[in-house]
């Protein structure tokens, strides 16, 4: 189904802004919504559509007549200690949005997170046991549980309701996230200063790093999902921090040895890798980027922006 008008929440954030620009490139009519609590106007500087400055907790969704909503807006700082706030912004606002979409025949694609798997075994499958280690992870898991009860009802109305469990996303537009930005950005910042990149001993922890261009692509594919559901969105491959440093060294023309530091965290994940077979089957997702190709692409964007 071809979507005509699309509203994107979290539109000035990292993933949301990339989604807005990709939709604009496809010639879609896009409305951007964000409260600019974290996201920045700079991320939307090439966006030509309308921008609404509003909080998702009290926005009157019926104000905008749209066919689809891509919901990226959320508290994304995983260390936030205020549980009530986390659940109000991430879960409660989402529940109201789901109800609105169901009652007004609107497709809804929303961002969940791989955080729900915690220290679970890899490759991580959608059905495996959850390991909820933070209020953030809880808020996303509550979203998924609520959505799961609604899949059939949406299906019955010919509507999409799709959750996407993004893994470790990196790429252009994440700079405003500070300590919450990807390890690739953090390591780049250190190495650009000529400093040795600092990682926990001994850099062999593996993450499913996924380039934002693949994430955007899957998010748009989700609007035409064969089946409503919650899907993993990663690269399907694990890359160690040592390997990331090696790729950064190669791309930057440096030769900086990692500095291994003690890990203060008791609950640190050694390995996260997404099983993406469901996303391949139901969304038609095929990752186009590896870290070997994504990092040089990202670095050329960084250079262009003088960052
Ligand atoms: N980046 C990742 O690696 C990653 C991984 C898993 C899941 N996610 C999810 O993807 C989505 C996008 O994340 P991101 O990385 O772009 O983070 P981000 O922080 O850059 O984007 C979130 C946006 O939501 C906005 N926002 C926050 N509270 C709001 C409110 N009350 N009303 C309106 N807008 C509000 C912020 O201003 C920000 O622009 C989030 O739902 C996040 O949980 C991201």
For 201-220, write each residue's pLDDT tens digit.
999 999 999 999 999 999 99
| % of residues, the chain, pLDDT over 70 | 99
User: Do 97 and 23 reside in the same domain of the chain?
Assistant: yes
User: Do 280 and 137 reside in the same domain of the chain?
Assistant: yes
User: Do 46 and 150 reside in the same domain of the chain?
Assistant: yes
pTM as predicted: 0.98
Tell whether ligand 1 has an atom less than 6 A from the beta carbon of residue 234: no
User: Do 203 and 223 reside in the same domain of the chain?
Assistant: no
Has residue 296 got a pLDDT over 60?
yes
Q: Pick the range with the lowest mean pLDDT from 3-7, 16-20, 97-101, 273-277.
A: 3-7
Tell whether ligand 1 has an atom less than 6 A from the beta carbon of residue 168: yes
| Domain count along the chain | 2
From the CA of 174, give the closest atom in ligand 1: 20
Determine phi and psi for 272, rounding to 5 degrees: -130, 125
Cα gap 234→278, rounded to integer Å: 11
Decide: 145 and 110 in contact? Cβ < 8 Å: no
- Residue reference for tokens 């190669």: 250
Mean pLDDT of 149-160: 98
CA 4 to chain centre: 23
Domain of residue 197 covers 172-207+238-270+297-304
Tell whether ligand 1 has an atom less than 6 A from the beta carbon of residue 43: no
Measured between its terminal Cα atoms, the distance across the chain in Å is: 40
User: Do 22 and 156 reside in the same domain of the chain?
Assistant: yes
10 is a domain residue: yes
CATH of the domain at 21: 3.40.50.720
Burial of 158-194, coded b for 16+ CB within 10 Å and e otherwise, reads: ebbbbbbbbbbbbbbbbbbbeeebbbbbbbbebbeee
Q: Whose CA is nearest to atom 1 of ligand 1?
A: 169
Cα gap 61→70, rounded to integer Å: 13
User: Do 103 and 50 reside in the same domain of the chain?
Assistant: yes
User: Do 165 and 282 reside in the same domain of the chain?
Assistant: yes
Has residue 3 got a pLDDT over 70?
no
Tell whether ligand 1 has an atom less than 6 A from the beta carbon of residue 126: no
292 is a domain residue: no
Has residue 1 got a pLDDT over 70?
no
Closest CA to 96 of 87, 13, 227: 87
Mean pLDDT of 1-17: 89
Question: Which residue among 18, 74, 172, 234 has the greatest number of ligand 1 atoms within 8 angstroms of its CB, and so is best to mutate?
Answer: 74
Q: For residue 5, give every residue at least 6 positions away whose Cβ sits within 8 Å of its Cβ, in sequence order, or none.
A: 28, 29, 30, 31, 64, 65, 66, 67, 68
User: Do 133 and 249 reside in the same domain of the chain?
Assistant: no
Where in 35-189 does DSSP place strands (E)?
50-53, 68-71, 107-113, 161-166, 168-170
CATH of the domain at 182: 3.90.25.10
User: Do 165 and 186 reside in the same domain of the chain?
Assistant: no
pLDDT tens readout for residues 40-63:
999 999 999 999 999 999 999 999
188 is a domain residue: yes
At residue 4, the pLDDT reads 83
User: Do 229 and 242 reside in the same domain of the chain?
Assistant: no
User: Do 37 and 64 reside in the same domain of the chain?
Assistant: yes
220 is a domain residue: yes
User: Do 90 and 222 reside in the same domain of the chain?
Assistant: yes
């Amino acid at each position: 189904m071809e979507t005509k008008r699309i509203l994107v929440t979290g539109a000035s954030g990292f993933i949301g802004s990339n989604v807005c620009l990709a939709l604009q490139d496809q010639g879609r009519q896009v409305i951007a919504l964000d409260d600019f609590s974290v996201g920045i106007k700079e991320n939307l500087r090439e966006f030509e559509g309308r921008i609404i400055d509003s909080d998702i907790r009290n926005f009157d969704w019926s104000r905008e007549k749209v066919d689809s909503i891509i919901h990226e807006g959320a508290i994304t700082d995983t260390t936030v200690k205020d549980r009530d706030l986390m659940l109000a912004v991430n879960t409660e606002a989402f529940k109201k949005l789901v109800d609105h979409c169901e009652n007004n025949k609107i497709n809804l694609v929303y961002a969940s997170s791989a955080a729900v798997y915690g220290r679970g075994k890899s490759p991580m499958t959608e059905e495996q046991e959850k390991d909820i280690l933070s209020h953030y992870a809880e808020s996303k898991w509550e979203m998924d549980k609520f959505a799961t009860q609604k899949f059939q009802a949406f299906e019955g109305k010919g509507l999409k309701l799709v959750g996407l469990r993004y893994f470790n996303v990196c790429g252009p537009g994440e700079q405003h996230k500070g300590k919450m930005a990807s390890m690739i950005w953090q390591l780049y910042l250190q190495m650009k200063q000529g400093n040795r990149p600092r990682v926990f001993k001994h850099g062999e922890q593996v993450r499913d790093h996924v380039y934002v261009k693949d994430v955007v692509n899957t998010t748009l594919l989700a609007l035409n999902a064969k089946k409503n559901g919650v899907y993993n969105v990663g690269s399907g491959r694990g890359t160690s921090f040592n390997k990331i440093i090696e790729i950064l060294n190669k791309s930057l023309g440096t030769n900086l040895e990692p500095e291994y530091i003690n890990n203060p965290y008791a609950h640190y994940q050694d390995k996260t890798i997404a099983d993406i077979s469901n996303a391949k089957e139901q969304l038609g997702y095929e990752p186009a980027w590896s870290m070997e190709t994504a990092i040089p692409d990202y670095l050329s964007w960084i250079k262009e922006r003088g960052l």
